[in-house]
Amino acid sequence: MQVYYLEIVTPDPDAVCATYAKLHGVSFSEPDAGLGNARTASLSGGGMIGVRAPMHEAEEAVVRPYLLVADIEAAAKALVESGGEIAHPSMEIPGHGKFAIFILGGIQHGVWQR
């Protein structure tokens, strides 16, 4: 199991990026429009962390791990069969792959296919 993308949605992305950069010695990118204007940094193991502001007033702060999967449609089916609820169906992000968001155990999770 690999966390491919760790998404942090916060009302203060600049403060979070500055703190993580200071603690871990990483550099964050400029905002990436394809990732909701997230500023990203590499994670060990090949994944990335993305920090962004909410995209609309109803979006709450959240930390959401996206697990890497080989087949996102098969993963979504297995998640539903395991009692998960799809919160955002599979969607392609050009240049990044596909993602889907699900809720399981009252927590938001994601899956990512490169």
What would the pLDDT profile of 51-96 be if each residue is shown by its tens digit?
999 999 999 999 999 999 999 999 999 999 999 999 999 999 999 9
**How many folded domains does the chain comprise?**
2
Q: Are residues 52 and 83 in the same domain?
A: no
CATH of the domain at 58: 3.30.720.120
Residue type, 55: M
Q: Please give the average per-residue pLDDT across 31-55, as a whole number.
A: 96
Q: Are residues 55 and 88 in the same domain?
A: no
Q: Are residues 13 and 50 in the same domain?
A: yes
Distance CA(15)–CA(10), nearest Å, equals 9
Residue closest to 77 by CA, chosen among 59, 66, 90: 90
Average pLDDT, the chain: 96
Distance CA(96)–CA(111), nearest Å, equals 13
Give the domain range for residue 92.
69-114
Q: Are residues 37 and 7 in the same domain?
A: yes
Rg of the chain taking only CA atoms, in angstroms: 14
Contact 69, 78 (CB under 8 A): no
pTM of the model: 0.94
Q: Are residues 85 and 56 in the same domain?
A: no
